[in-house]
Amino acid sequence: MRIKGSAPYVGMVLAEFAQVGLMIASKVAIANGMPNLVFILYSNTLASLILLPFSLLFHRSPRPQLTLSVLSGFFLLALLGFLAQIFGYAGIQYSSATLATAMLNLVPGFTFVLAIIFRMEKLEWWRGSSIAKSMGTVLSIAGAFVVTLYKGSPILMTPSPSNFPDQLFLSQHSNWVYGGLLLAADCVMSSAWLILQASILKKYPAELIINFYYCFFVAIQSAAASLIMERSPGAWSLEPSTRGVFGYAFQVGAITWCVHQKGPVFVAMFKPVGIVVAVAMGVIFLGDIFYAGSLIGATVIVTGFYSVMWGKATEEKIDEDVGVSSSESTSQKAPLLQNCNEGPSLPKYN
């Protein structure tokens, strides 16, 4: 039971590693001349091809019925994801993967607010768990801003690798304000995507099938946009984009499964882990400089992260206790109800 309970946590940590790797791969592909739309097209096309056999294998029977309403939900989910990817990759192009990962820490706050609006989360100010989640969300957002806006003195630095263009990782060549605005728009779309995905999972509880249709519809939408916007044959070169495709398929699958298991707020609150991964990978593999501001901001983010996780775990424990109590009371009342129904009546045949 402990291993099963820890699976969503492990899955989300691995998904954050895959996401950071995808950001770096997209940065390299875009720097080598591949447009954002083409990168989105190839990533989602190949990811859908990877997910198709797995979805058929793991959901052989019984398979939920596909209706027009369900397919419309898939298409709308893909549209939100497509817009999020456009804003996200454009923001990375104008800034860096580290800034993108930091800005994604706005997702918990947006998701928490949307979940309250759509009554997927309860905000009860008299309970310590709700206060912990609210304060943790604020801390996570504040930590993201600290990492983004405050650098401080350098703590760790390594020589920049020769196989990456220097312009990829030098902040002076990036429009951080414009990139930050695009990444903020990405966060809004990602939060709405998580909320809609959680709603679809209640009607159609087949994670891999949802993943396949999501990537399939995103591929169609990006193909239509690419045919209109990209006319140069050189923009359709496939080689640079293949580096992040497998990580993208794994990331989408892991996130969808975790949303089904724990809910959208749980998934969103793992975004602070991504910035720690991004900083570590940037220093080790890309030669980025690790500043004191990153350390301070990461500490604030982790504090907020564990505050929200504590509040979430406390509420789940309370819900489990309430469920056990209600089941016990029902089992105690069942014989009495049964005796009341057993009067002079005709025999019942089931």
Report the pLDDT averaged over residues 73-96: 90
**pLDDT tens-digit map of 14-35:** 888 887 877 877 777 777 777 8
pTM above 0.75, yes or no: no
- The SS3 of residue 282 is helix
Give the residue carrying structure tokens 């817009």: 83
Per-residue model confidence as pLDDT tens digits over 186-245 = 988 998 998 898 889 888 988 888 989 999 999 999 999 999 888 777 677 766 445 555
pLDDT of residue 2: 57
Q: In terms of Cα–Cα distance, which of 223, 306, 232, 221 is closest to 270?
A: 306
| pLDDT one-digit tens code per residue, 119-164 | 777 777 777 878 888 888 788 778 877 776 777 787 766 655 444 4
Q: Is the model's pLDDT at 170 over the cut of 60?
A: no
Helix ranges restricted to H, 152-291: 176-203, 207-229, 245-262, 264-268, 271-281
